[in-house]
Amino acid sequence: MSNPNHPLSEILANNARICSLEVSSNRPLDYNVLNKMKYTFCSIVWIGNYNKAPDQVGPLALAKEMIGKGITVILHFTCRNNTLSSCTANLDYAKQIGIRNLMVVRGASPECNLPDKKYDFTHTPELLKFIKTRYGDYFELCVAGFPYRHPDSKDLEDDMKHLKEKNDAGAKFIITQACFSYDVYKEFLDNCRKHDFCFLQKLCKVPQSDPLVQKIKQMRDNDKEIAEFGAKSSLETVKKLLADKDFCPPHLYTMDQLAAIYEFLNILYEHE
């Protein structure tokens, strides 16, 4: 392809304090809204079916469409929703259409929770090593981190050990799962630094014990109050992350609600 997507390291090197977005192929993307938004790149959730030809896989089709419109993408790519054969076919196609960035994850859908022997790639480091061996440095790789630690980890040290394994297997960046607290993000960053990590930041799996979750539970009968509280607390957290250059700019779940994210970003950037 004559105009491949930019590697993530090139995008982050310009130090722009602008959020990025996560989208999915669940529904058609509203480019009329997206084109009005200020963002650096979009990641695309992997909703995979390895029994399909690559050009029929929703996330790959969306990635091709977005690249054709000049949008830089990161393609999520799961270990347990792919076989050795489908990984090769899908990644060859990803390279063909100009994808330069992959977020490699284990996978969380029900079909990703079978016994380990059912999969060609059981855990993320195995797939990372395969990608590095087959494609060298063509793809820039990031992985998922868990500010509250991964639910399967015994403790924080165990979690950091497994995250470091992904880093050592070729991951260049970490995109975190969700939390609502700047302080939790900061503590996670400090823990990563203790283990010599690179870092990227993103906004899932928030513990029920989180104070903000508890507060929202108290408002459960008032949707308007929940929406207002969520918008206010999210703005405060994202503003702190944007102001703190220890972090790369936050990566926002859109939940396919581009209009709401558009309004959020307008408020966020209104004083620039």
Q: Is the pLDDT of residue 223 over 70?
A: no
CA-to-CA dists, residue 199 to 42, 77, 116, 153, angstroms = 17, 19, 29, 20
Q: Is the pLDDT of residue 203 over 50?
A: no
CA-to-CA dists, residue 16 to 10, 43, 248, angstroms = 11, 17, 9
What element of type H or E holds 73? Answer: strand 73-78
CA 194 from chain centre, in angstroms, equals 23
What's the pLDDT score for residue 30?
A: 95
Rounded mean pLDDT, 216-244: 78
**Mean pLDDT: which of 58-67, 151-160, 179-188, 235-244 is highest?**
58-67
What's the pLDDT score for residue 256?
A: 84
Domain borders along the chain are 8-269
What's the pLDDT score for residue 194?
A: 74
Q: Hey, what are 257's tokens?
A: 């609600």
**How confident is the model over 4-42, as pLDDT tens digits?**
588 988 888 887 888 999 999 998 999 999 999 999 999
CB atoms within 10 A of CB 122: 15
Q: Hey, what are 231's tokens?
A: 């918008």
Prediction pTM value: 0.81
Q: Hey, what are 87's tokens?
A: 């990984």
> pLDDT-based confidence at 93, cuts 50/70/90?
very high
Contact 163, 145 (CB under 8 A): yes
* CATH number for the segment(s) 8-269: 3.20.20.220
Q: Is the pLDDT of residue 3 over 80?
A: no
Q: DSSP letter at 183?
A: H
Compute the mean pLDDT over every residue in the chain, rounded to the nearest whole number: 84
Residues 94, 25, 116, 54, Cα dihedral to 10°: -40
Q: Hey, what are 259's tokens?
A: 């209009």
Q: Is the pLDDT of residue 225 over 80?
A: no
- DSSP per residue over 138-162, as a string? SSEEEEEE-TT--TT-SSHHHHHHH
The order of strands in the sheet holding 101-105 is: 173-176, 140-145, 101-105, 73-78, 42-44, 20-23, 251-253
CB atoms within 10 A of CB 37: 18
| Cα separation, 149 vs 250, whole angstroms | 19
Q: Is the pLDDT of residue 189 over 50?
A: yes
**HSE-up (13 A, CA, CB side) for residue 236:** 12
State whether the Cα torsion 57-80-42-270 is positive or negative. positive
